[in-house]
């Protein structure tokens, strides 16, 4: 979920190293397809759940990744503290993970065009909607900060817990979390992972995963949330250290505007972004939203298998 007006965005040419001339279509799905900023995980029950921006963290359930049913919301009502950040208690861009015998749901609360924002966390024994206990703020930003505390993504590395986050306001950042509370360590260093050369620094929505000896930072660039006029696309860089520096396949740092183009709009699938990466049954998957040009720009769920070629990710055709 972007936090600045789409009209401010800058166009960026892709690095040619891994950019594809054409992109594979997402997995054909049925049922409830409407979604924004999806985070997907296979639960211990065997079901897949997708949480998203919209509602009080909207929920979808599937048995096979192909047919999705509306499952209501993570919460019945917004926690009271959310209203400090917007008048409707509207949450954005959740991130779902499992550790220490519990499911952890991170999310952001903010208002369009401001970095008066906060990231919160809730836990659940099952990961299902309606079972979440909120634990309040993890990390916050104010208008005096040079970062924006939205779009969280959780990663474990070397026995430590990290949260990447960010949107505009100089791009993607990272802080270390306390594994016990799931909240930012007191006085934690705010690491800088990726940005653009010029304002408004249109990069956001990180997802960070380990593959082999590298950490891979996926992020959404350009204009979200404008239907068929959206220019969202997904770029990626990698590093041998969780805190960076991250570079693309040409060696250009992501802190200097680098990033290999992984997936862009094509055909009816406009503005691909808001991504997350998950693994199930030995296969990596890329989840994202796109705006359907054949359905008035409605945001829908995109799922593609993610492959690896010479230690770089590639989007693959997903079987029908």
Q: Of 124, 114, 5, 132, nearest to 57 (Cα)?
A: 132
The domains found in the chain, sorted by start residue, are 6-316 (2.115.10.20)
- Provide the whole-model pTM: 0.93
Give the pLDDT confidence score for residue 47 in this predicted structure.
Answer: 97
- Known catalytic residue: 37? yes
Residue 20 is encoded by which pair of tokens? 């594809």
Query: What does the buried/exposed string (b/e) look like for 255-274 if buried means 16 or more CB atoms within 10 Å of the residue's CB?
Result: bebbbbbbbbbeeebbbbbb
**Which of 17-26, 114-123, 165-174, 236-245 has the weakest average pLDDT?**
17-26
- Known catalytic residue: 90? no
What would the pLDDT profile of 125-161 be if each residue is shown by its tens digit? 999 999 999 999 999 999 999 999 999 999 999 999 9
Give the pLDDT confidence score for residue 207 in this predicted structure.
Answer: 98
Mean pLDDT to the nearest integer, 100-119: 97
In angstroms, the CA 45 to CA 133 distance is 19
Give the pLDDT confidence score for residue 21 in this predicted structure.
Answer: 54
Give the pLDDT confidence score for residue 317 in this predicted structure.
Answer: 85
Mean pLDDT to the nearest integer, 162-186: 97
Q: Pick the residue with more confidence: 83 or 6?
A: 83
Q: Which of 37, 90, 260, 292 is catalytic?
A: 37
Q: Could you give the percent of the chain with pLDDT greater than 70?
A: 93
Q: Pick the residue with more confidence: 14 or 162?
A: 162
- Mean pLDDT value across the chain: 93
In angstroms, the CA 171 to CA 5 distance is 15
Q: Does residue 20 surpass a pLDDT of 50?
A: no
What would the pLDDT profile of 267-283 be if each residue is shown by its tens digit? 999 999 999 999 999 99
Give the pLDDT confidence score for residue 6 in this predicted structure.
Answer: 32
> By three-state DSSP, how is residue 38 classified?
coil
Give the pLDDT confidence score for residue 19 in this predicted structure.
Answer: 42
Give the pLDDT confidence score for residue 9 in this predicted structure.
Answer: 29
**Which of 9-13, 17-21, 228-232 has the weakest average pLDDT?**
9-13
Give the pLDDT confidence score for residue 83 in this predicted structure.
Answer: 97
Q: Which of 95, 204, 248, 292 is catalytic?
A: 204
Give the pLDDT confidence score for residue 149 in this predicted structure.
Answer: 98
Q: For the sheet containing 203-211, what is the strand order?
A: 203-211, 214-221, 233-239, 260-263
């Amino acid at each position: 979920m972007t936090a600045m007006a789409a009209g401010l965005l800058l166009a960026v040419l892709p690095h040619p190293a891994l950019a594809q001339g054409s992109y594979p279509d997402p997995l054909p799905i049925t049922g409830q397809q409407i979604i924004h900023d999806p985070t997907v995980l296979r639960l211990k029950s065997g079901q897949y759940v997708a949480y998203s921006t919209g509602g009080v963290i909207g929920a979808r359930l599937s048995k096979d990744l192909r047919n999705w049913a509306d499952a209501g919301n993570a919460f019945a009502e917004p926690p009271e503290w959310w209203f400090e950040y917007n008048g409707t208690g509207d949450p954005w861009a959740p991130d779902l993970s499992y550790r220490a015998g519990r499911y952890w749901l991170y999310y952001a609360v903010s208002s369009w065009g401001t970095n008066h924002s906060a990231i919160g966390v809730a836990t659940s024994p099952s990961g299902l909607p309606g079972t979440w206990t909120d634990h309040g703020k993890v990390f916050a930003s104010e208008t005096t900060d040079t970062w924006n505390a939205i779009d969280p993504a959780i990663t474990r590395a070397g026995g430590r817990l990290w949260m990447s986050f960010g949107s505009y306001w100089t791009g993607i950042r990272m802080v270390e979390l306390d594994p016990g509370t799931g909240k930012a360590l007191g006085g934690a260093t705010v690491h800088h992972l990726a940005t653009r050369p010029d304002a408004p620094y249109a990069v956001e929505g990180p997802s960070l995963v380990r593959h082999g000896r590298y950490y891979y930072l996926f992020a959404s660039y350009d204009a979200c949330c404008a239907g068929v006029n959206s220019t969202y696309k997904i770029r990626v860089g990698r590093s041998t250290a969780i805190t960076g520096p991250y570079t693309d396949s040409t060696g250009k740092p992501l802190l200097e505007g680098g990033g290999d183009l992984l997936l862009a709009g094509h055909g009816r699938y406009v503005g691909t972004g808001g991504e997350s990466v998950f693994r199930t049954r030995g296969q990596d998957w890329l989840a994202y939203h796109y705006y359907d040009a054949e359905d008035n720009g409605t945001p829908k769920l995109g799922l593609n298998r993610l492959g690896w070629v010479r230690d770089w990710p590639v989007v693959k055709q997903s079987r029908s």
